Amino acid sequence: MVTSSMKKLSGLEESIGHVFASPELLDRALTHSSQAREAEMLRPASSERILDNEQMEFLGDAVLGLITTEELFRRFPQFTEGQLSKLRAHLVSKNHLIHIAEQLQLGRYLRLGRGEEKSGGRNKSALLVDALEAVIGAVYLDAGLEPARSLVLRIIQPELEEFISTGRAARVTDYKSALQESLQAASRPQPAYVLVKESGPEHQKTFTIEARLLAGGNGAVEFVGRAQGATKKTAEQEAARQVLEYLASQPSTQGAVR
């Protein structure tokens, strides 16, 4: 038997691209604790506890993080752990997820207690984001990892594509520019990039570059980043990355280097 509640939720199923084999999972994902506790008060004391979406939100948050991490690992093999962490943090942040929740019009489907309803719960960012994470958890419980992956990718792909198309991805891995900006901010001399070795046949050369960090005006070298690459540019970028990591490890420069 198809209930009016199930008919209403079919619109959400269409939006997320998943039809539930167990619709009660989606219903729970949209049930706020205020509604569950309110319903319990109307039942005899011996009745079972009515489930809300808090545990499902916890599960969905983990699924979202795993799939996002896997996608970034696959898409950006050139990124450092720190860069991957920063991008993942943005993609799973409340600021990003609230836009998705609003696009899905999750507020229409929430099951709220009377008090939460009166206080504008359908428009509260925290409730909407929690519900979105719970829906991800519900999809995972209903059908497994692959359908959950499809939903998560629908959530993060538009932001990822914009990240790439606007050039922000390139800037994240432009270590030479990042190093230049960091040294300028610290009023330090720019590094010297030196070709120290060139080997291999003409069509398949390997270049070894050193990025020499100068200690000050006397020209003394404080640190050397050394890297190989199929092009000078590639080797320079990796050598610059090593210098950046060195600077970040120094107490006197922490906070100036990003």
What pLDDT digit, counting tens, does each position of 174-207 carry?
788 878 877 887 888 999 999 999 998 888 889 9
Structural domains of the chain, count: 2
Same-domain check for residues 204 and 143: no
Domain final residue pick, 120, 142, 171: 171
Residue 52 inside a domain? The answer is yes
Q: Is residue 257 part of a domain?
A: no
pTM of the predicted protein model: 0.64
Helix ranges (DSSP H) in the chain: 4-16, 23-29, 33-41, 54-75, 81-91, 94-103, 114-118, 125-143, 145-165, 168-172, 175-185, 232-249
Of 171, 190, 206, which marks where a domain is finished? 171
The residue out of 118, 137, 171 marking a domain boundary is 171
Domain co-membership, 162 together with 196: no
In a domain, 128, yes or no: yes
Instruction: Give the domain CATH number at 186.
Output: 3.30.160.20
Quote the CA–CA distance of 41 and 27 in Å, as a whole number. Answer: 20
Amino acid in position 122: R
Q: Pick the more confident residue, 9 or 35.
A: 9
Which of the residues are catalytic? 61, 133
User: pLDDT tens, 230-258?
Assistant: 889 889 988 998 998 888 787 754 434 33
| Domain coverage including residue 195 | 175-249
